[in-house]
C-alpha cells in the first residue's frame, strides 16, 4: 500500500479576503467560512464557502471550498474544485497554487484508491505548478516525492505481475504434470486391463483346448470301452461254446470207454 502522508508535505493555504464588489452578504459568508476553517470546523466552513459561491463564483470561494472538502478527505470532490480554481485564477502565482493543491488531492486520491494513474496526474499537476511559478519550492519537493512513489508503485506492480505470471506458470506446469500422471495411470490401467484380458483369453483358450482333449479322450475311451465290452461278450460266448463242446467230448469218451472190453492178460 502506498503511504503518502508521511512522504509528502501539504501546503494548503486560504486566501486572505480583500475588499471587492461582491456585496456585503458574500463577504460575510467568506469571512465566516474562513473563521470556521481556521477553527478546524471544516464542514461549517464548507457550507459558508458554498453560500459565498452562490453570490460570486470566484477564485477565493472556489479554491477555499476545495480546501474545506480536502480536509474532510473527500479528495475526488476537492479535485473538481481545484481544477475549477486553475481556470479562475487571475495570475500565474494563484494558478500555480491551485495546481499545487490539485496535485496534493491527486496524491491523496492515489493513496485511497491505490492508483498509479492518480500519482501520474499528481506529477503532471506539480509540473504545471512549477512551470507557472518556478519559485514554488513546495511543488518541487512534492514532485520529487511523487516520482519516487511512482517508481516504487511501478516496481511493485511489475513484481506482482511477475509473481502472478510465475504462479500461473507453476499452476499450468502442475496441471500439465497432473494430466501426464493421469494419462500414465490411465495407460497403465489400460495395459493392465489388456494384459489381464490376454491372460483370461489364454486361460480360456487353454481351457477350451483341455475340454476338447477331454472330449476327444472321452470319445476314444468310450469307443474302446464299447469295443472291449463287445469283445468280452464274444469271449464269454466263445468260452461257453468251448465248454459245451468239451462236455460233449467228455461224454462221448466216457460212453466209449464204458462200452470197450477189457483186454486179456498177456503173461
- The count of C-alpha atoms lying within 13 angstroms of the C-alpha of 140, restricted to the half-sphere facing its C-beta, is 8
pLDDT of 264 strictly over 80 = no
Task: Identify which of 108, 64, 62, 70 has the alpha carbon closest to the alpha carbon of residue 87.
Answer: 62
d(CA 126, CA 101) in angstroms, rounded, equals 9
Domains delineated in the chain: 24-160 (1.25.40.10)
Phi-psi region of 43 (alpha: psi -120 to 50; beta: other; left: phi over 0): alpha
Greater confidence (129 vs 247) lies with 129
Mean local confidence (pLDDT), 237-259: 73
Q: What is the pLDDT of residue 93?
A: 94
Give the pLDDT band (50/70/90) at residue 7: very low
Lowest mean pLDDT among 2-6, 25-29, 32-36, 198-202: 2-6
Question: What's residue 225's pLDDT?
Answer: 42
Task: Determine the pLDDT at residue 10.
Answer: 43
Query: Scanning the structure block, which residue is given the C-alpha cell 475340454?
Result: 211
Higher pLDDT, 56 or 47: 47
- Match 483370461 to its residue by C-alpha cell: 200
Across the chain, mean pLDDT equals 79
Half-sphere exposure of 106 (CA within 13 A, CB side): 24
More confident residue, 248 or 235: 248
CB atoms within 10 A of CB 171: 10
Above pLDDT 70, what percent of the chain?
74
Q: How confident is the model over 117-141, as a mean pLDDT? A: 95
Q: What is the pLDDT of residues 54-110, one digit of tens each?
A: 888 889 999 999 999 999 999 999 999 999 999 999 999 999 999 999 999 999 999
Name which residue leads in pLDDT, 14 or 178: 178
Q: How confident is the model at residue 138 (pLDDT cuts 50, 70, 90)?
A: very high
Q: Which residues are CB-neighbours of 148 under 8 A, at least 6 positions away?
A: 7
Per-residue pLDDT, 171: 87
At 168 the pLDDT is 87
DSSP labels for 170-234? HHHHHHHHHHHHHHHHHHHHHHHHHHHHHHHHHHHHHHHHHHHHHHHHHHHHHHHHHHHHHHHHH
pLDDT for 211 equals: 63
**pLDDT tens digit string along 194-237?**
878 888 887 787 777 666 655 555 443 444 444 444 456 666 66
DSSP alpha helix (H) spans, 11-58: 24-38, 42-55
Amino acid at each position: 500500500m502506498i503511504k503518502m502522508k508521511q512522504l509528502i508535505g501539504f501546503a494548503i493555504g486560504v486566501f486572505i479576503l480583500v475588499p471587492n464588489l461582491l456585496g456585503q452578504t458574500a463577504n460575510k459568508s467568506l469571512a465566516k467560512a474562513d473563521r470556521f476553517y481556521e477553527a478546524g470546523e471544516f464542514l461549517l466552513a464548507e457550507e459558508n464557502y458554498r453560500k459565498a459561491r452562490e453570490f460570486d463564483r470566484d477564485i477565493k470561494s472556489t479554491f477555499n471550498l476545495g480546501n474545506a472538502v480536502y480536509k474532510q478527505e473527500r479528495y475526488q470532490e476537492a479535485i473538481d474544485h481545484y481544477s475549477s480554481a486553475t481556470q479562475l485564477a487571475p495570475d500565474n502565482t494563484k494558478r500555480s497554487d491551485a495546481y499545487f493543491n490539485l496535485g496534493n488531492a491527486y496524491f491523496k486520491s492515489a493513496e485511497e484508491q491505490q492508483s498509479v494513474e492518480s500519482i501520474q496526474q499528481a506529477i503532471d499537476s506539480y509540473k504545471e505548478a512549477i512551470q507557472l511559478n518556478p519559485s514554488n519550492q513546495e511543488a518541487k519537493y512534492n514532485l520529487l516525492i511523487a516520482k519516487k512513489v511512482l517508481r516504487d508503485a511501478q516496481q511493485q506492480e511489475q513484481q506482482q505481475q511477475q509473481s502472478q505470471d510465475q504462479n500461473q506458470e507453476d499452476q499450468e506446469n502442475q496441471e500439465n504434470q497432473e494430466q501426464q500422471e493421469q494419462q500414465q495411470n490411465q495407460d497403465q490401467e489400460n495395459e493392465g486391463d489388456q494384459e489381464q484380458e490376454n491372460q483370461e483369453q489364454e486361460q480360456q483358450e487353454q481351457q477350451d483346448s483341455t475340454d476338447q482333449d477331454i472330449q476327444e479322450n472321452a470319445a476314444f475311451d468310450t469307443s474302446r470301452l464299447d469295443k472291449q465290452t463287445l469283445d468280452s461278450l464274444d469271449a464269454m460266448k466263445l468260452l461257453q461254446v468251448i465248454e459245451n463242446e468239451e462236455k460233449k467230448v467228455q461224454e462221448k469218451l466216457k460212453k466209449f470207454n464204458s462200452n470197450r472190453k477189457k483186454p486179456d492178460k498177456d503173461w
